[in-house]
Amino acid sequence: MFTIEHEFEATAITLVDEGDTPLREDVTLLAFDTQITIEQWDAQTDTVSKITLSPNQLRDLAAALNLPEGIYHSTP
């Protein structure tokens, strides 16, 4: 399951892990004009883990999910 919310400065997408255990904490993706931030609560460290990507990195990641093993160069 996932939700999409349009906020003032960003679009927030939350991915909810459903199904068989072990389940993971929700993942929140915040899409701003210049960066995309992915956040997930880490119960072991009692902190939020955060990764920040550029729009190009997110585009490359999405493309990579559908490609076979190899080295690729994307064009803008």
In a domain, 71, yes or no: no
What digits encode the pLDDT tens for the residues 1-47? 889 999 889 999 999 999 888 899 999 999 999 999 999 999 999 99
In a domain, 50, yes or no: yes
In a domain, 22, yes or no: yes
In a domain, 28, yes or no: yes
Question: Domain range spanning residue 13?
Answer: 2-64
In a domain, 60, yes or no: yes
In a domain, 56, yes or no: yes
Asked if the model's pLDDT at residue 74 lies above 80, the reply is: no
Token pair 């459903």 in the structure block, residue = 18
What gap in Å lies between CA 21 and CA 57, rounded to an integer?
A: 31
Number of structural domains found in the chain: 1
For position 76, what pLDDT does the model report? Answer: 64
Asked if the model's pLDDT at residue 48 lies above 90, the reply is: yes
Asked if the model's pLDDT at residue 72 lies above 90, the reply is: no
Per-residue confidence band for 70, with pLDDT thresholds at 50, 70 and 90: confident
* Sign, Cα dihedral of 4, 66, 27, 56: negative
In a domain, 75, yes or no: no
pTM above 0.75, yes or no: yes
